[in-house]
Structure 1
Amino acid sequence: MGMLSHRHTAMSMAMLLLLLVVRLSVAAADLDSQRAALLALRSSVGGRTRFWNATNQTPCNWAGVQCDQDHVVELHLPGVALSGQLPNGIFGNLTHLRTLSLRFNALTGSLPSDLASCVNLRNLYLQRNLLSGEIPQFLFSLPDLVRLNMGYNNFSGPISTSFNNFTRLKTLFLENNKLSGSIPELNRLSLDQFNVSNNLLNGSVPVKLQTFSQDSFLGNSLCGRPFSLCSGTDSPSSSPFPIPDGNGTKNNNNHNNKLSGGAIAGIVIGSVVFLLLVVFLLIFLCRNKSSKKTSAVNVATVKHPESEVPHEKSISDMENGNGYSSAAAAAAAAAVAVNKVEANGNGNGGVGGVKKLVFFGNAARAFDLEDLLRASAEVLGKGTFGTAYKAVLESGPVVAVKRLKDVTITEKEFREKIEAVGAIDHQSLVPLRAYYFSRDEKLLVYDYMSMGSLSALLHGNKGAGRTPLNWEMRSGIALGAARGIDYLHSQGPNVSHGNIKSSNILLTKSYEARVSDFGLAQLVGPSSTPNRVAGYRAPEVTDPRRVSQKADVYSFGVLLLELLTGKAPTHALLNEEGVDLPRWVQSVVREEWTSEVFDLELLRYQNVEEEMVQLLQLAVDCAAPYPDKRPSMSDVVRNIEELRHSSLKEDQDQIQHDNNDLEL
Structure 2
Amino acid sequence: MATILLLLLLLALPPPSAVALNSEGLALLAFKAAATDDPFSALSRWSESDPDPCRWPGVTCANASSASPAQPHVIGVAVAGKNISGYIPSELGSLLFLRRLNLHGNRLAGAIPAALSNASSLHSLYLYGNRLTGGLPVALCDLPRLQNLDVSGNALSGELPLDLRNCRSLQRLVLARNAFAGELPAGIWPEMPSLQQLDLSSNAFNGSIPPDLGELPRLAGTLNLSHNRFSGVVPPELGRLPATVTLDLRFNNLSGAIPQTGSLASQGPTAFLNNPGLCGFPLQVPCRAVPPPTQSPRPPATTTPLPSTASDRHQPIKTSLIALISVADAAGVALVGVILVYVYWKVKDRKESRGDDGDSSKSGLCRCMLWRHGGSGDSSDTSSDGDDNDASGGGGDGKYNGGSEGELVAIDRGFRVELDELLRSSAYVLGKGGKGIVYKVVVANGTTPVAVRRLGGGGGGGADRCKEFAAEARAVGRARHPNVVRLRAYYWSADEKLVVTDFVGNGNLATALRGEHTVPHH
Q: If the length of structure 2 is used for normalisation, what is the TM-score?
A: 0.43
Larger RCO (alpha carbons 8 Å, 6+ apart): 1
The structure that is helix-richer by fraction is: 1
Indicate the structure (1 or 2) with the bigger Cα radius of gyration.
Answer: 2
